[in-house]
Every structure is written in C-alpha cells, then in structure tokens.
Structure 1
Amino acid sequence: MGIFGAIGIAGTGVTVYRKWLDAVSDNLANINDAVPTSGDVFRARYVQAQAVHYGNGDGGVVVSGTALGSPKGRLVYEPDNPIADREGYVKYPDIDLGSQMTQLMMAQRAYQANLTVVDRAKDAYQAAIQVGKG
C-alpha cells in the first residue's frame, strides 16, 4: 500500500466515525425528550459499518446502514408533567447515558486517530517530494 492508499483508507475511517459521532450526538440531544404515553418516542440511532474489500488492504470502511433503538421507550412517573397521562406517566427514549458517552469517546478517539494517519501520510508524501527535488 502506498501513501495515497493510506490516505484513502484513513479518509473512509474519518467519514464513518464522523457519522457515528453525529448519531451519538442526536441520541444525547434527545435523551430527555418526554412524549405522551400514546406518542412515538425518539428512537436511538446506531451506525453500522462494513469493511470494503476485507483482507486486500486497499478498501477501507463504509457505513452500511443504521439501526434504530427500541420504539417502546421507558415509562417514568411524572404526575406534574403537562403531557402526563391519567396515571401520571410519560415516555422517554430508552437511551443509556453511560453507553452513549462511552460510544462518544470511542468515536472521537478513532476519528482523531484516522486524521493523524492522514496527516502523517501527507507529511511522508511531502518529504518524498523534497527528496526527489534534491
């Protein structure tokens, strides 16, 4: 694999991890959105990635799709909430804050690692150009 191959593969990783960060951000932004028990609750998004040309060393990764979390949500007793039902319950998304924060950190670190690979490959390419000039 050459320098451009490394940049290309790391670039695909940057794209996938950016989409993962977007999904986690959406999940965190909607974690406290209450809806009436008869309504549809926000469903968490989970990014699914897939290797391209696995084993060849020249493919990278792509987002193959997204999965949605549970549509049931979780019932919370909040009788003072204006949208509560007769029994005093509202629905919240079934999203675990700890899990989402862990995914956020993992995606952020992987995003940074792929950007570092792109940066180092660019530096190596520029150094090779300078050697060629000499």
Structure 2
Amino acid sequence: MGGFDAIGIAGSGMTVYRTWLDALSDNLANMSTVTSTDKAAFQARYVIAQAADYGQEGGVEVAGVAFGSAEGRVVYEPNHPLADADGNVRYPDIDMSSQMTQLIMAQRGYQANAAVVDRAKETYQAALQIGRS
C-alpha cells in the first residue's frame, strides 16, 4: 500500500456512494409519477458496485445500473386524467421505507469515507511537519 492509497480508496468509495445517493433521490422523486396503463412505469435505479481492477489496486467503482420493473403497480383512480377505461393508472413499484433506509446507509457510507480522507490528510500533514523539524 502506497503513501496516498488511503485517500484514493476512500475517494473511490465516495464516488460510488454519491452515485447511489443520486439513484436513490431519483427513485424517491419519481415514486409518485403516474402513467397510463398502456405505458411503462418509472423504473427504479439500483447501483451495482464492484472492486476496482478486480481487487488488485484497492477501491471500488460503479459497475453499472440495474433497473426495476417497468410493470409497476396498477391503482384504481377513476378521476385521474390518465386513467384508462377501467379507471386504472400505473405507479412505479418503489417502496419509500426501503429507499429511505438505503438513503441513510449511503449517506453514512459517504460520511465514513469522507472521514477517512480527512484523517489521511491530517496524518500526511503531520508527517510533513515532522520532516520539517
């Protein structure tokens, strides 16, 4: 492990957690998006992470994004302007409690990696001060 590896590894973690936070906020913002039953519902985004360079270098990266079901939930709302002949509309199949739990996990992960960057920076600065003495 090199001298600045801690910052690089924690920085890659921050990038992945930021991407996860973006996906979760997008899911939460669109959980009430209504479409007609002949169209696909908003598809939830799920971030896929993997070890960077297959674990050779350390760190993590976003491998891709998976999408939830386009089928969604069909809800009876006969007064809605997008309702079909049977009075149904389509909502995304997104569970708010699950998304909020994941949001807290992603936020804490981001904060933990930011703390590692701060501690590593303080350690490197202290080492430089020792070298000046």
TM bucket normalised to smaller: over 0.9
Establish whether residue 122 from structure 1 lines up as the match of residue 121 from structure 2: yes
- Percent sequence identity over matched residues? 64
Unaligned runs of 5+ in 2: none
Deviation by residue 1:56-99 (Cα, 9 ceiling, x = unmatched):
5x420000000000010100111111111111100000111111
Query: How many pairs align?
Result: 133
Establish whether residue 87 from structure 1 lines up as the match of residue 86 from structure 2: yes
Establish whether residue 112 from structure 1 lines up as the match of residue 95 from structure 2: no
What is the match of residue 45 of structure 1? 45
The 3-state SS of whatever aligns with 2:65 is: strand
Q: TM-score, normalised by structure 2?
A: 0.96
Unaligned runs of 5+ in 1: none
Displacement over 6 Å in runs of 4+: none
What is the match of residue 8 of structure 1? 8
Q: Distance in 2 between matches of 1:53 and 1:69?
A: 27
Structure 2: which amino acid aligns with 1:122? K
Q: Distance in 2 between matches of 1:52 and 1:67?
A: 19
Q: Distance in 2 between matches of 1:73 and 1:41?
A: 5
Q: TM-score, normalised by structure 1?
A: 0.95
Query: RMSD between aligned alpha carbons?
Result: 1.1
The 3-state SS of whatever aligns with 2:4 is: helix
Q: How many Å apart are 1:3 and its aligned residue?
A: 3.9
